[in-house]
Amino acid sequence: MRAEDIIEALSGETRRRIVSMLTRKPLTLKEIADMLGITPPAALKHMRELESLGIVESYSVNMGPGRPRKYYKISRSVRLVVTLTEDSLQIRALEIEPTSTSPSKDIRERFDEIRERLESLSDLNSFSETVTRTSNLIQDIDTLLLELESVESHLLWMREEILRNLKRFSR
């Protein structure tokens, strides 16, 4: 799932409301249309777009005689990360999922070491040494950021598992 697609899909208020409603529970097209006060064909247009982008998915449930009911639900958990600085714009969609790696115990130590190296850059007099140390420092920061994102993704997944269990018991 591309971050740009998520931003585009959620740029309209109606789709944001649909996605928000689906975070609570799966809904039929008629339920969505009724809750939004729009026609089923208008709701279907939004659902097809959200489905084509992989944000929602549909499934059918047999409710006895007659046609099965089609429900829509959020297809997967994603974290949208937007980083805007004076120097760059980064937009990424990160899957929220369990990871097989555990965070290293020395994250705090690595953070402190990076901060000390950053502070020592002002003491350098050579341009080439400054470039070399700065490049290494940026590489170490990026490595640590990737590890922290992995930890955050796993923590968000754990939180989601807890909420799923609570939903199961509240029915």
Tell me the average pLDDT across 108-117: 91
Q: pLDDT tens for residues 10-55?
A: 989 999 999 999 998 999 999 999 999 999 999 999 999 999 988 9
In angstroms, the CA 2 to CA 80 distance is 10
| Averaged pLDDT, 96-120 | 84
Mean pLDDT of 159-170: 85
117 pLDDT band (50/70/90 cuts)? very high
Question: Confidence class of residue 169 from pLDDT cuts 50, 70 and 90?
Answer: confident
Bridge partners (DSSP) of residue 14 are none
52-66 pLDDT, tens digit per residue, is 988 999 999 988 888
pTM of the model: 0.70
The percent of residues above 90 in pLDDT, for the chain, comes to: 46
Of the chain, the percentage scoring pLDDT greater than 70 comes to 98
Q: Is the pLDDT of residue 167 over 90?
A: no
Distance in angstroms (rounded) separating the CA atoms of residues 29 and 71: 7
pLDDT at 171: 63
User: What fold, for 3-74?
Assistant: Arc Repressor Mutant, subunit A (1.10.10)
State residue 152's pLDDT score. 85
Which helix (DSSP H) or strand (DSSP E) does residue 94 occupy? strand 89-95
CA–CA gap between residue 134 and residue 60 (Å, rounded):
55
Question: What whole-number distance in Å separates Cα of residue 82 and Cα of residue 3?
Answer: 9
d(CA 11, CA 45): 15
